[in-house]
Chains A and B, each alone.
Chain A
Amino acid sequence: ETVLTQSPATLSLSPGERATLSCRASQSVDIYLAWYQKKPGQAPRLLIYDASKRATGIPPRFSGSGSGTDFTLTISSLETEDFAVYYCQQRKSWPPLTFGEGTRVEIK
C-alpha cells in the first residue's frame, strides 16, 4: 500500500498570502497524484490531477507540481473561500487507492 504523508497538518494564513502544501508518497507514484478540496458538509472537489493539471473550472491560483514521491499544491493568493481541508490521492498503485491525512488551511 502506498502511504501518503501530508504536511503541515494545519496551515494558518491570512487572505492574500501564499499557501504551500506538501504530499510525500512512501513509494514512487510517477505523476499520478491528485489534490482535492473538502469543506464541511460539502462533497470533495477535484482541483489538480496527474500532479499538475488543473481540473475544469479551477482558478489559476491553484497549481500543482512534483513527481515520484514529492508533490506540492500551491495557492498563490488565498481567497476566503479557499479555507478548507486539502487531500492528496494517488492512483499509481491500487487497490487500494490511498489519500493523505489532509492539511487544514485556516484563517490566521
Chain B
Amino acid sequence: EVQLVESGGDLVQPGGSLRLSCSASGFTFSTYGLTWVRQAPGKGLEWVSGILTNFNTYYADSVKGRFTISRDNSKNTIYLQMNSLRAEDTAVYYCAKLLSAGGSDMHFAQWGQGTLVTVSS
C-alpha cells in the first residue's frame, strides 16, 4: 500500500525558515516524480513545486527563489526547504505521487494527509 507521510509543519515568524519532509513507502520511490500542493485556510488547492525522477525541479511563481524541493532516493523522502516565509504561505502542505512511473504526467494518484504551516508573529 502506498503511504506518504508529511512532517515538519510548525508555527514560524514571517521571514523565517522551515523544512518539510515527505516519507514514502509502498512503491519504488526512485521511479516516481513527486510534488507539493498546498491549501490555505478556506481556499482551494495550489500547486507549489514538483521534482521528477531525473531530479528536475519546478516551482510556482509565488514560491520561486524562496522554496527548494529535493529528494533523497536512499531515504525514500522528498523535502521542501521554505525560506523567507510570508503570511500568505500559511497552509496545509500535501505531498503527492505522480500517476505513472518514470514520466512527467502531472496528475496525482496518491496523497499524504498534510502538514500545517502557520506563518505569524
Contacts and interface: CB of A to CB of B under 8 A. Distances in A.
Interface string A79-108: 000000101010100111111111000000
A92 B39 CA distance: 22
Contacts of B11: none
- A interface residue count range (under 10 / 10 to 19 / 20 to 34 / 35 or more): 20 to 34
| A contact face: mostly helix, strand, loop, or mixed | loop
A94 B106 contact: yes
A44 B111 contact: yes
A71 interface: no
B107 A44 contact: no
B45 A49 contact: no
B111 A96 contact: no
Contact of A43 (B61, B106, B107, B111): B111
Contacts of B44: 85, 87, 99-102
Interface of A: 32, 34, 36, 38, 42-46, 49-50, 55-56, 85, 87, 89, 91, 94-102
20 contacts: A32-B105, A36-B45, A42-B113, A43-B113, A43-B114, A44-B45, A49-B99, A56-B109, A85-B44, A87-B44, A89-B45, A89-B108, A94-B106, A95-B59, A95-B60, A96-B60, A97-B106, A99-B44, A99-B47, A102-B44
